Amino acid sequence: MRTHYLMEPGSSSKVRLLVWLVKKDLGRGIVVLRDPSGLKEVRLVGGRAGDLLKLPCESLVVIEGCYSVDGLLVESYRVLHKPIEEPGIDYTVLPSDVRVLAKYSPWYMKHPLWMKIIRLQHITLYYIREFLYSRGFLELLSPMVSVAGDPGLRGARKLHTKLYGVDYELTSSVIMYKQVSAGIFEKIFFVARNVREEPSENISTGRHLVEFTQIDIEWALASLDDVIKLAEDLLEYVTRKLIVEHSDLVYSLNKEFEPLKPPFKKIRYTEALEIAKKLGYSVEWGEELSHEAEASVANYFSEPLWITHFPVISRGFYYLPEPSDPRYNMDFNLILPKGYGEVIDGGVREYRLEEVRKRIIALGEPIEKYSWFLDTIKKGGVPPSAGWGLGLERLTRYIAGVEHIVLATLFPKLPGLPKTP
Amino acid sequence: MRTHYLMEPGSSSKVRLLVWLVKKDLGRGIVVLRDPSGLKEVRLVGGRAGDLLKLPCESLVVIEGCYSVDGLLVESYRVLHKPIEEPGIDYTVLPSDVRVLAKYSPWYMKHPLWMKIIRLQHITLYYIREFLYSRGFLELLSPMVSVAGDPGLRGARKLHTKLYGVDYELTSSVIMYKQVSAGIFEKIFFVARNVREEPSENISTGRHLVEFTQIDIEWALASLDDVIKLAEDLLEYVTRKLIVEHSDLVYSLNKEFEPLKPPFKKIRYTEALEIAKKLGYSVEWGEELSHEAEASVANYFSEPLWITHFPVISRGFYYLPEPSDPRYNMDFNLILPKGYGEVIDGGVREYRLEEVRKRIIALGEPIEKYSWFLDTIKKGGVPPSAGWGLGLERLTRYIAGVEHIVLATLFPKLPGLPKTP
């Protein structure tokens, strides 16, 4: 007899279940069982039910029996694994404190909501790859450490290590590897894991993780419009396909979800600034919009919004100034509505040696660290290109419609909260 | 007019090329051009050819013209990007010193052999995912750092970092995350990037990288035979599909390649030991087979070979002893023939608290570091499971038939060789 999943639709009344015992109410003979399909509350009946109820929570058992109007009639059971001690954590209810979720993630990840979001992310990533492959983009594997990481992190700190006694930095962005690889393969992408020590207060933005995943594309000789269109096509493809193939999963997480319908509204930074001022935010030209101001501007349009052409002085390293007005970069952010905020950051790359040098120095980084990259630029190894990074966990959070990004990853690491699993 | 690739079959005589100027022989008017499809040597003819030949190597140009019996007649050209200095590296020929390849990888990666191997790896990984998805395995994203990494690395050293002032280790294997996740999703895999400080002498084994990729699967309640069969099915699926869909690419790299035909021969460690002794190697019971001995044993059968049931004393942490003879683990390696060596390492996992504790202590690791994992075991969060890790770069190297693994990855980091890009 094959094993049935708890949440299997139309399973026969005679079943074989392979389940964890999650919770029990001895008085009423009711238990909560778990398997990869989710959690199910059932009343155990029959002569063997009493013994089964004596097992500690998180026992792993095979139960053979049948469903009836009274509950699950236990005909036989076998214990496969028993804990030494009960976890003492009721993971059938998710606490509101994200610190608790991160600290006890090995338990709370068993909650059906978290499990569903991880399945959603797995499927979303599959469709992202499918789309990028179909457009001729080659997937490359990202480095974990390098002699010099991205010099232009805004606000966050890089992590450091030693390899054979030499200083290395942990990957916080694959920008330089993208630019060099685009000069070989033309169209490439990384599904890059990154780690950054975010300021502790970013735990409350709901969209910052210490470890996170960027879908990082780069395209040699592409224009600003080329890569914006590519992102729009990708988001349309992925969100439509999710609804066509997995509407049950998506709607069970987010009843109001709708596939994205590009083209999205585009405004320049200067326009965004004016709208922010109209909405009561005080922000000076050249400053970054605060998370709140950005969210309010996006909500003003109630659809995903491209903000383009940020001032050169506010954004380091990556972008090429606009030839017609070099105070502004040829760059962009995609801001999701309803407060979900920035999900894509990209633009046309700076690839001219002297400009890259100047920007690294302006960021206070020692120039020698970047010698391999600067040398590669000098000798023609970095072509003009454009690209972007899409935050996978941020996209997952938006599709799933959850408040905090903590549930959009496994084993989350949160700003300011070390020592989690 | 659309842009043609250099190696495009049957392209019309009238072409528009977007190419890098790689090498030039001014006397004969011959150049080597490069684009994402490869390298091509052509004679430039026509009135504009002379000016074009004056450009420095690694100039990026659009050429419009037509192919004739005399060569490429240049009708017009436009320079998109010019290097400040020529690279001075002839990457049309790969040097035999792997150190030089790693140090100047931004240039040598442009060699068609290296580019083809990266394409092969991209396709191979796509098929691996396709196979694992079809078998119900969920892909999870691996951590970059954790409070405690794998305690059981044989020979290599872990890398260390600080996050919010707390000691962290860089991922050198996802073993603990696999075991916990299998207790939630049943069947999972990671395409895990790992970093290990390998002993410097391992640069000459041809199969060790400092940064490498493991296809890391875990399957709750699976047996040794289940996960061996899964690996065989995967290798058969992937290598057959490569030949069906991409025979040109595969044979252009490795004329002798044949799809793998499981089941593969299985022998126990004790048998492997006897064969090694017959072949003249001196190895005592309980010792690891040397790379040379292992390769000779595999060549004795001239097909992929499973070596199973290694002595408990030779292998740490991961595996469950065989109930009928607890001197041996329920574990295995897959050894590829022709000297390619180990490509898979796996087995049935140790999941009992006291045994895991003892093994961590025996490995000389401080037990407190592992408290989250030990606590999760104690409370029933780690089920019996089995799994394996398949080295993606090792498999790529075998399929491509190249001598050293340096060409089976981009931006390679080699044992004992820091400071490479």
| Residues B214 and B316 both lie in one domain | yes
Nearest CA in chain A to B142: A193
Q: Which of B99, B129, B184, B392 would you mutate first to test chain A, the one with the most A CBs within 10 A? A: B184
Confidence of residue B315 (pLDDT cuts 50, 70, 90): confident
Please state whether B309 falls in left (phi above 0), alpha (psi between -120 and 50) or beta.
left
Are the beta carbons of B145 and A195 separated by less than 8 Å?
yes
Question: Does the residue B210 lie in any domain?
Answer: yes
Are the beta carbons of B184 and A115 separated by less than 8 Å?
yes
What one-character-per-residue DSSP string does A18-43 give? EEEEEEEETTTTEEEEEETTEEEEEE
> Tens digit of pLDDT for each residue in B138-148?
999 999 999 99
Question: Min CA distance, A160 vs chain B (Å)?
Answer: 6
Nearest CA in chain B to A116: B185
Encode B267-293: b = buried (16+ Cβ within 10 Å), e = exposed: bebeebbebbeeeebeeeeeeebebeb
| Residues A250 and A356 both lie in one domain | yes
CATH number at residue B72: 2.40.50.140
Question: Min CA distance, A414 vs chain B (Å)?
Answer: 11
The strand pair at A160-163 and A138-140 is best described as unpaired
Q: What is the pLDDT of residue B317?
A: 67
In sequence order, the 6+-apart residues with CB closer than 8 A to the CB of B366 are none
Residues on chain A touching B165 (C-beta within 8 angstroms): 418
| Residues B158 and B48 both lie in one domain | no
The domain of B172 spans 105-408
Question: Min CA distance, B284 vs chain A (Å)?
Answer: 32
Question: Does residue B218 contact residue B182 with C-beta atoms inside 8 Å?
Answer: yes
In sequence order, the 6+-apart residues with CB closer than 8 A to the CB of B292 are B281
Rounded Cα distance, A153 and A155, in Å: 6
Check residues B43 and A313 and name the one with the higher pLDDT.
B43
C-alpha pair distances (Å), B138 with each of A119, A288, B130, B276: 7, 39, 11, 39
> Which of B55, B88, B121 finishes a domain?
B88
| Residues A286 and A332 both lie in one domain | yes
Q: What is the pLDDT of residue A133?
A: 96
Which strand ranges, in their side-by-side order, compose the sheet holding A145-146? A145-146, A166-170, A160-163
| Residues A240 and A387 both lie in one domain | yes
Are the beta carbons of B133 and A147 separated by less than 8 Å?
no
Are the beta carbons of B35 and A162 separated by less than 8 Å?
no
Rounded Cα distance, A177 and A376, in Å: 11
Question: Does the residue A118 lie in any domain?
Answer: yes
| Residues A62 and A123 both lie in one domain | no
Distance of CA A89 to the CA centre of its chain: 26
Question: Does the residue A116 lie in any domain?
Answer: yes
Question: Does the residue B99 lie in any domain?
Answer: no
Q: What is the pLDDT of residue B11?
A: 65
Are the beta carbons of B181 and A122 separated by less than 8 Å?
no
> Tens digit of pLDDT for each residue in B218-257?
999 999 999 999 999 999 999 999 999 999 999 999 999 9
> Which of A88, A119, A139 finishes a domain?
A88
| Residues B229 and B256 both lie in one domain | yes
Rounded Cα distance, A290 and B376, in Å: 40
Report the domain count for chain B. 2
| Packing angle, helices B224-253 and B112-134, rounded to 10 | 150
Whole-number CA gyration radius for chain A: 25
Question: Does the residue A8 lie in any domain?
Answer: no
Identify the CA nearest to B275 among candidates B244, B305, B232, B319.
B305
| Residues A134 and A230 both lie in one domain | yes
Q: Which of B140, B161, B187 would you mutate first to test chain A, the one with the most A CBs within 10 A? A: B161
Six-digit token string for A279: 């909405």
Encode B9-36: b = buried (16+ Cβ within 10 Å), e = exposed: eeeeeebebbbbbbebeeeebebbbbbb
Residues on chain A touching B105 (C-beta within 8 angstroms): none
> Tens digit of pLDDT for each residue in B102-158?
999 999 999 999 999 999 999 999 999 999 999 999 999 999 999 998 887 778 999
Question: Does residue A181 contact residue A220 with C-beta atoms inside 8 Å?
Answer: no
Question: Does the residue B276 lie in any domain?
Answer: yes
| Residues A161 and A239 both lie in one domain | yes
Bridge partners of residue B190, in order along the sequence: B140, B216
Average the pLDDT over B259-287 and give the result: 94
Question: Min CA distance, A138 vs chain B (Å)?
Answer: 7
Question: Min CA distance, A224 vs chain B (Å)?
Answer: 17
Rounded Cα distance, A215 and A408, in Å: 15
Residues on chain A touching B59 (C-beta within 8 angstroms): 380
Six-digit token string for A372: 């391999």
Residues on chain A touching B186 (C-beta within 8 angstroms): 35-36
Residues on chain B touching A353 (C-beta within 8 angstroms): 84
Q: For residue B280, give the amino acid letter.
A: G
* Mean pLDDT, chain B, whole residue set: 95
In sequence order, the 6+-apart residues with CB closer than 8 A to the CB of B279 are B293, B296, B297, B300
Residues on chain A touching B213 (C-beta within 8 angstroms): 141
Question: Does the residue B387 lie in any domain?
Answer: yes
> Which of B34, B58, B88 finishes a domain?
B88
Distance of CA B322 to the CA centre of its chain: 31
CATH number at residue A309: 3.30.930.10
Rounded Cα distance, A310 and A290, in Å: 14
Six-digit token string for B239: 């290598």
| Residues B67 and B112 both lie in one domain | no
Question: Does the residue B302 lie in any domain?
Answer: yes
Q: What is the pLDDT of residue A11?
A: 64
The pTM (predicted TM-score) of the whole model is 0.97
Six-digit token string for A307: 């903000």
| Residues B84 and B111 both lie in one domain | no
Rounded Cα distance, B214 and B192, in Å: 5
| Residues B274 and B234 both lie in one domain | yes
Are the beta carbons of B83 and A378 separated by less than 8 Å?
yes
Question: Does residue B210 contact residue B153 with C-beta atoms inside 8 Å?
Answer: no
pLDDT (tens, 9 = 90+) of chain A, 421 residues, equals 899 999 988 766 899 999 999 999 988 999 999 999 999 999 999 989 999 999 999 999 999 999 988 999 999 999 999 999 999 999 999 999 999 999 999 999 999 999 999 999 999 999 999 999 999 999 999 999 999 988 877 789 999 999 999 999 999 999 999 999 999 999 999 999 999 999 999 999 999 999 999 999 999 999 999 999 999 999 999 999 999 999 999 999 999 999 999 999 999 999 999 999 999 999 899 888 888 898 899 888 889 999 999 998 877 668 999 999 999 999 999 999 999 999 999 999 999 999 999 989 988 889 999 999 999 999 999 999 999 999 999 999 999 999 999 999 999 999 999 999 9
3 state DSSP class of B368:
helix
